[in-house]
Every structure is written in structure tokens, then in C-alpha cells.
Chains A and B, each alone.
Chain A
Amino acid sequence: MTKQQANWSPYDNNGGTCVAVAGADYCVIAADTRMSTGYNILTRDYSKIIKLADRCVMASSGFQADVRALQKVLASRHLIYQHQHNKQMSCPAMGQLLSNTLYYKRFFPYYSFNVLGGLDSEGKGCVFTYDAVGSYERVGYSSQGSGATLIMPFLDNQLKSPSPLLLPAKDAVTPLSESEAIDLVKTCFASATERDIYTGDKLEIVILNGSGIRREEMDLRKD
């Protein structure tokens, strides 16, 4: 007698890909704007990126209803922090808060694959990458979502130091300039769009640096 399985799932996957790259004094966070379900497109113009604090931006792919709920929880917790400490949360602090929030729902997780990008207290770029239940790590670059398996090896090839045995150990942040990093991210998405059916339509890029926050957009394939 086989165990009875549920024939309704509370989750859905709306697809999409997110990438973040940290530089010496900047951080680039990018995500496509396609929202889909199954083989259908729901909208070509949905932003997966949200500004959580002055120097902290999050991009999330996965189940957008859970992503939206998560964003609201973080925004609300940040507001409380501001009232209590009279200052904005730093990116590493927000990183820890996100991890705790995700693990809080360890047994009914947020179906949300996140990358957090921003500037740390010293003004250097920082990127945190998460799984669905809050395991996180500070890294120099990361990608999440349906196109992550296509983009990550390319970023490793371009950004990772060849061998820690031969050369002096490299910093977590990339030595690339801001415009080079943006060009790299655009190439990542153009390539992922070719081979991943859930990635496409438009690319939204957010750049954080000493002077503030800037947005850029690029058209991707719509098929």
C-alpha cells in the first residue's frame, strides 16, 4: 500500500536568474525581468531587485509570492532597526538578518533563491549568496536561479584566481573596473538567455558605489 502523496503544492517556480559581482569600491546586482509559470510567460517586465537599505540591494529568483513576502518582512525589520539604532543597517548586518529570517521558516521554507549585494562599512563591494533556508557565505560574485548553472562556470572562469598555490591569495572582490564588470554581467545574461528558456525579455542592472545607486537596462531575447 503506497503512501498517499499530496496532489497540490503550495509552491510554484516563476523562473529567472540573478547575478551579483563585488568590486573594490562598487557592487553590481543584476536580474532578468521575465516572470513565467510552466511554459507560459506571465509578464516581461517584473523587477526581482529590491533596495533594502541605503547600501544594500537584494535580488531574488524562485517563487515570487514568497519573494515578495520575504521582502516585506525584511523591510519591516529594517524600519524597526532604524527606529532603535538611529541609523541604516550595514550590508553584513542585513546579510545576517536575511539568513535568520530564512532559517526561521526552516520547515516551510521561502522558495526564494537570493543574492545580496552592497557596500560594507569600509566602502568595499560585498556579495552574499544564500540557499532557500538561509545558509550564506560572503563571496566576490554569485548567481542564483534557473540560469545560474549556465552563468556560474563562466564567472568562475573570468573572476576566480587560477590557483591559490601558485599566486598570492586573491581578495574576494574582483579587480575589474565598474564598466568592465557591467559588460561582463551583460554578456552573462545574453548567453544565459540563448540556452535557458526561463531567462530573457529584459535585463535590469543596479550599480552601488560611493556616489549612490544607479540603474541600467538592456533588452534580451524575447523568445
Chain B
Amino acid sequence: MEVPQKGGFSFDLCRRNEMLVSKGLRSPSFLKTGTTIVGLIFQDGVILGADTRATEGPIVADKNCEKIHYMAPNIYCCGAGTAADTEAVTDMVSSQLKLHRYHTGRESRVVTALTLLKSHLFSYQGYVSAALVLGGVDVTGPHLHTIYPHGSTDTLPYATMGSGSLAAMAIFESKYREGMSRDEGIKLVAEAILSGVFNDLGSGSNVDICVITKGNTEYLRNHLSPNPRTYPQKGYTFSKKTEVLLTKITPLREIVPVIEGGDAMEE
């Protein structure tokens, strides 16, 4: 009896994958964003922050990637975990929110994005490895949420996620106050991300910040760049070490008769 196609993960290949691993196959590693991502609520709205290093195991794959994803003009989402998963899930929900805006004729609400994200992640039982910090300002006010890969969520005044979350949270727990001004908020978020950048090996490079207030969003890409490359100053030249010994051009023999003029494919 044919079982109708349903949504969700297809586990058909899992047994075969396990067998291959036991035979010695090295499964490809995922590009993870080691990451420090933070969010906090201040007087006029929400500030999100993120580092810019993407790692593949111990190697830095991208020194300046973007971890603060657009969801709606008034909602942004930071992503930690498997890079492909955070990209895909935020893009998908962003599109769903746009269609919803067309349908309702209203500005998107943060709780809508929250519900769409958490139900998607829950249905994949944690296999979509995306840990998110979702923040935005809508008609009901400023909101900040964390979303875990299995689909649970928290609503918080300040939040951190990723491998550098402990380093960043140490800063927040010491210095966070309610009702901070914009400049104080940006300074604290930057300090938290820098703590992750320098003390966590999975995070590094630059600091990205996004300030969301009622009616206005500012995306400060590379707000801080505290890790410039200083050596060598003038760059490097590579001397030509290859030598051309012989150049030989062999025209390809025609095997297939070439039919002139149109219609060769038809028939």
C-alpha cells in the first residue's frame, strides 16, 4: 500500500549511512558557525549582535560572514549552528512572513516569526541544527526570543547563543540594566561579542550590530574590526616555478555526424 508523501525528514537512508560509517567512511563535516550571537532590549527597542567567523572543524571557512539575517523590515534573526540550516530556515520564514504581510495588509509581528520557526524546528526533531536569537519591534512593542534546535523558545530581556554564549553572557550578567540608551546598548552588545571573539576559539573577526526601533532599523555591518591582518604589510609575490615543456594541440576526431540547420533533436 502506497503511503502518501508527508512533510518532515525522510529517514530512509539512515541505516545505509550508519553501515558506511562502520565500514570506515568519513562523513563530510558541516560548516558550522562557531559563533557568538547576542540580543538585548533597550529603552527604544532591540539590539542584536554577532561575530563574523564561520568554521569547518578547526579551520576558518569564512572570516567575514553575515550571521544577522533579515526576516522582515522590523524583525531580524541571528543564527548559530549549522550555517546551511540557519540560512535556509530564516530565508524560508522570511518568505512566509512576506506572503502573510500581503495577505493581512499589516506589519509582521515577532511572535508570528517565532511560531513559524519553532514549529518548523520541532517537526524536524532537532535535526535542523539552528540556534537562533530573534528580535524585533512591532505594534505590541519590542520583543526578544531565543529558539533552540529542538523547537523550544524563551522570551528574555537579554540573550546569548553559540559556542561563545558563556563568554558573552558573563558580560551581560555583570553590566545589563533595564532601560539603557541606544549608545549604552550598542556599547554593551559590542563588549559581549568582543568577549566571545577573543575568548572563544569558535568565534572571531568582526562585530556586526543591528539596532531595531519603532519604525526604523539600522544594520551596522562590521561595526568593529579589531582583528586586522598586520603581516606581511606589502603582500606576497609568488615566483613562477612552472616551466612549459611542450604545447601540443590535438583536434578532436568527429564521431557524430553534424546535421546542419535546426531540427536535429526532433525525430
Contact = CB atoms under 8 A, between A and B. Distances in A.
Interface of A: 36, 38-41, 146, 150, 157, 162-163, 166, 183, 186-187, 190, 194-198, 218-219, 221-223
B232 A223 contact: no
Q: Is the interface of B mostly helix, strand, loop or mixed?
A: loop
B229 A197 contact: no
A59 to B, nearest CB: 19
A80 B248 CA distance: 65
Contacts of B53: 223
B58 A39 contact: no
B59 A196 contact: yes
A41 B199 CA distance: 7
B232 A190 contact: yes
Q: Which of A36, A150, A196 has the most CB of B within 10 A?
A: A196
B125 to A, nearest CB: 24
A195 B62 CA distance: 9
Given A187-B236, A194-B63, A223 B204 contact: yes
Interface of B: 34, 53, 55, 58-60, 63, 163, 197-205, 226-227, 229-232, 236, 238, 241-243
Nearest to B235: A187
A44 B204 CA distance: 16
A223 B229 contact: no
Contact of B58 (A41, A163, A190, A196): A196
Contacts of B199: 40-41
B201 A39 contact: yes
Given A39-B34, A40-B199, A186 B60 contact: no
B227 A223 contact: yes
Contacts of B241: 157, 162
Contact of A41 (B201, B205, B226, B242): B201
B225 to A, nearest CB: 11
Contacts, number: 64
Given A40-B199, A157-B238, A187-B236, A221 B229 contact: yes
A146 B53 CA distance: 18
Given A196-B60, A197-B60, A186 B201 contact: no
Nearest to B205: A223
Contacts of B200: 39-40
B232 A183 contact: yes
A197 B231 contact: no
Contacts of A187: 231-232, 236
Top-10 shortest CB links A-B: A223-B204, A190-B231, A197-B201, A195-B60, A39-B201, A162-B241, A223-B227, A223-B197, A39-B202, A221-B227
Contact of B231 (A157, A186, A223): A186
A25 to B, nearest CB: 24
Nearest to B199: A41
